[in-house]
């Protein structure tokens, strides 16, 4: 079950009623959410539920121990305690990252090593083990790792309530695809009773509906435009390749931003505020800006737990921001999947950020010499070129992101330049155009000239808004593709 599937419309009302009709106590509310979350997880794979329980228990223990044994002050060094603390953090990290490595990367690395040894004339060096990837593993692992690291450094205190912690780890709307929550922002919400506020409920329902529109209509309508061309690029014309590529950009946005809104909306309906995950990314005028607007929760995590410590720490990487970008985006690529295509995608983005940083430093020297360069950067033509370049680069790097293999990415990339086949763009229906148009309108309403119009629409009288929401529900019921495919980001 996912948040956009029909089963949810039977599951959600039961959980909602139990949560709000029972005692307004933290314990009851958390118990309902935790049990519901485990049931939700079990619908994907009941056999992997003990893994979630074990990981929760290990991190609960590690954080409590670290909290009970705070780091010694600089003027009162205690090497034995410092060493024990590192061991406890190590146990948590080895457990979390070990499980991630085993389920997600063991097969990939063994296969890659065997290929390398084979190329050198040897036999298989390692058996290739492949396990069913626990759904959402990368998301909830990062959330827990962030918590234990924060407690280790004293940024936050460990929660006293195992129930609150288990609910924080397993909360079903964000369990399979985030947003990756920060303990400092989320855990305190699980430690107090939630109130049913009409504003949160209405806002949550609106987010849910918008998310459903993006996920169930936009993303699913565009799948037939994208999938056939990426599956057999040789058959299709150059135009079909470009259509599939831009269609994929809209599809993956609809898919993930949609699911994030479903999660945030569902969270609000339970009185919980999950972090924002998308902030109109297609308005970005540089790659750093795009990564502050796309999958915000993951990029914040990577920035805070990898980039920041590496580049401001005392090690060799201190101040080496360019290298930091490459390391972080290689990690991001690997996080997305154990495939060379994702590693290539991460490398391209890491290099792009490093290059942008160099360009930015050069441009600053121009600005210091003459302020006219500051004005040029604020001019419309500069912004337009910067925006077009950013979007084109992002879309082009979706080739390795979406392609099934490096060879497939190469074939698809060639197809963007010269026609390989003679089949036209598949799946191009009025609904496909409408789906792309909706993504454009969604972003356009955030631009300065149209923002006021959006605010006016949102402030329309309640009956009018009610009619609009009802019309959207009817539209979805009639036109959203039935039997829609899987959710793209859940596989990460």
Partner 1 sequence: MSYETNRQQVIDWLDDNYHFGDAAKLIKTDDLSFLDNGILDSLGFVQLVLFLEKTFKVKIERKHLSRENFDSLRKIVGYVMAHKDYRDA
Q: Which of 95, 336, 356, 431 is catalytic?
A: 336
- CB of 152 vs partner 1, minimal distance in Å: 9
Residue among 70 and 407 whose Cβ is closer to partner 1: 70
Contact between 311 and partner 1 by CB under 8 A: the answer reads: yes
Is the CB of 104 or the CB of 300 nearer to partner 1?
A: 300
What residues between 393 and 432 interact with partner 1 by CB under 8 A?
A: none
> Closest approach of Cβ 367 to partner 1, in Å?
5
Binds partner 1 by CB under 8 A, chosen from 312, 379, 405, 447? 312
Of 117 and 321, nearer to partner 1 (C-beta) is: 321
Of 287 and 399, which has the nearer Cβ to partner 1? 287
Nearest-approach distance from CB 313 to partner 1, in angstroms: 8
Which listed residue (91, 113, 117, 321) binds partner 1 by CB under 8 A?
A: 321
Rounded alpha-carbon distances, angstroms, from residue 80 to 84, 85, 147, 307: 6, 9, 24, 29
Are the C-beta atoms of 261 and 176 separated by less than 8 Å? no
First to last CA, the chain: 16
Binding flags for partner 1, 278-307, as an x/- string (CB under 8 A): ----------x---x-------x--x---x
Cβ proximity to partner 1: between 171 and 301 the closer is 301
Q: How many residues bind partner 1 (CB under 8 A)?
A: 21
* Binding residue (CB under 8 A) for partner 1 from 309, 410, 421, 481: 309
Among 98, 188, 319, 389, indicate the residue that binds partner 1 (CB under 8 A). Answer: 319
* Paired tokens of 144: 């827990």
Which sign, positive or negative, has the C-alpha torsion 27, 30, 36, 39?
negative
> Which range in 213-221, 315-323, 330-338, 409-417 contacts partner 1 by CB under 8 A?
315-323
Nearest to partner 1 of 195, 369 (CB atom) = 369
Please report how close the Cβ of residue 374 comes to partner 1 at its closest, in angstroms. 5
Report the nearest approach of partner 1 to the CB of residue 180 (Å). 16
Using the contact rule CB under 8 A, the part of the chain among 76-84, 90-98, 187-195, 317-325 near partner 1 is 317-325
Q: Which is nearer to partner 1, 241 or 356 (CB)?
A: 356
3-class SS letters over the chain = CCCCCCCHHHHHHHHHHHHHHCCCCHHHHHHHHHHHHHHHHHHHHHHHHHHHHHHHHHHHHHHHHHHHCCCCCCCCCCHHHHHHHHHHHHHHHHHHHHHHHHHHHHHHHHHHHHHHHHHCCCCCCCCCCCCCCCCCHHHHHHHHHHHHHHHHHCCCCCCCCHHHHHHHHHCHHHHCCCCCCCHHHHHHHHCCCCCCCHHHHHHHHHHHHHHHHHHHHHHHHHHHHHHHHHHCHHHECHHHHHHHHHHHHHHHHHHHHHHHHHHHHHHHHCCCCCCCCCCCHHHCCCHHHHHHHCCHHHHHHHHHHHHHHHHHCCCCCCCCHHHHHHHHHHHHHHHHCCCHHHHHHHHHHHHHHHHHHHHHHHHHHHHHHCCHHHHHHHCHHHHHHHHHHHHHHHHHCHHHHHCCCHHHHHHHHHHHHCCCCCECCCCCCHHHHHHHHHHHHHHHCCCHHHHHHHHHHHCCCHHHHHHHHHHHHHHHHHHCCCCCCCCHHHHC
User: Does the annotation count 431 as an active-site position?
Assistant: no
Applying CB under 8 A, the span of 158-166, 313-321, 415-423, 441-449 interacting with partner 1 comes to: 313-321
Per-position x/- string for 349-388, each x denoting binding to partner 1 as judged by CB under 8 A, each - no binding: --------x------x--xx--x--x--------------
Shortest distance, position 312 Cβ to partner 1, whole Å: 5
223 vs 354, which CB is nearer to partner 1? Answer: 354
Of the candidate spans 199-207, 310-318, 398-406, 450-458, the one that interacts with partner 1 by CB under 8 A turns out to be 310-318
Q: Which residues bind partner 1 (CB under 8 A)?
A: 153-155, 288, 292, 300, 303, 307-309, 311-312, 318-319, 321, 357, 364, 367-368, 371, 374
Write out the catalytic residue numbers. Answer: 336
């Amino acid at each position: 079950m996912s948040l956009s599937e029909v089963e949810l419309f039977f599951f959600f009302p039961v959980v909602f009623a139990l949560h709000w009709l029972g005692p307004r106590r933290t314990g009851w509310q958390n118990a309902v959410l935790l049990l519901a979350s485990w049931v939700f997880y079990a619908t994907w794979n009941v056999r992997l539920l003990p893994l979630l329980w074990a990981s929760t228990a290990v991190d609960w223990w590690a954080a409590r121990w670290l909290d009970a044994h705070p780091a010694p002050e600089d003027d009162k060094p205690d090497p034995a305690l410092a060493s024990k603390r590192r061991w406890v953090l190590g146990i948590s990290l080895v457990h979390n990252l070990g499980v991630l490595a085993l389920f997600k990367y063991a097969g990939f690395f063994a296969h890659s090593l065997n290929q390398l040894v084979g190329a050198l004339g040897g036999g298989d060096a390692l058996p290739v083990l492949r396990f069913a990837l626990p759904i959402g593993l990368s998301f909830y692992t990062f959330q827990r790792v962030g918590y234990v690291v924060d407690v280790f450094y004293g940024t936050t205190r460990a929660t006293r309530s195992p129930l609150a912690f288990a609910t924080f780890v397993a909360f079903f709307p964000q369990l399979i695809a985030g947003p990756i929550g920060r303990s400092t922002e989320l855990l305190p919400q699980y430690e107090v009773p939630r109130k049913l506020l009409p504003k949160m409920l209405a806002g949550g329902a609106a987010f849910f509906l918008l998310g459903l529109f993006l996920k169930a209509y936009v993303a699913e309508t565009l799948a037939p435009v994208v999938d056939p061309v990426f599956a057999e690029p040789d058959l299709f014309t150059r135009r079909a390749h470009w259509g599939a590529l831009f269609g994929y950009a809209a599809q993956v946005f609809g898919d993930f931003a949609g699911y994030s809104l479903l999660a945030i909306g569902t969270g609000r309906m339970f009185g919980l505020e999950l972090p924002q995950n998308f902030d109109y990314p297609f308005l970005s005028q540089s790659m750093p800006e795009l990564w502050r607007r796309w999958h915000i929760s993951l990029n914040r995590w990577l920035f805070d737990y990898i980039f920041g410590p590496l580049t401001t720490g005392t090690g060799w990487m201190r101040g080496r921001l360019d290298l930091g970008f490459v390391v972080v985006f290689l990690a991001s690529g690997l996080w997305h999947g154990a495939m060379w295509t994702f590693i290539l995608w991460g490398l391209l983005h890491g290099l792009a950020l490093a290059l942008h940083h160099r360009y930015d430093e050069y441009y600053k020297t121009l600005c210091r010499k003459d302020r006219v360069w500051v004005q040029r950067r604020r001019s419309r033509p500069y912004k337009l070129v910067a925006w077009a370049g950013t979007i084109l680069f992002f879309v082009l790097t979706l080739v390795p992101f979406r392609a099934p293999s490096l060879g497939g990415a190469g074939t698809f990339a060639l197809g963007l330049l010269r026609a390989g086949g003679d089949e036209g763009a598949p799946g191009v229906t009025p609904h496909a155009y409408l789906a792309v148009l909706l993504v454009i309108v969604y972003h356009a309403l955030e631009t300065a000239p149209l923002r006021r119009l959006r605010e006016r629409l949102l402030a329309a009288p309640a009956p009018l808004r009610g009619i609009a929401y009802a019309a959207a529900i009817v539209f979805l019921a009639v036109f959203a593709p039935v039997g829609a495919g899987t959710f793209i980001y859940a596989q990460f």
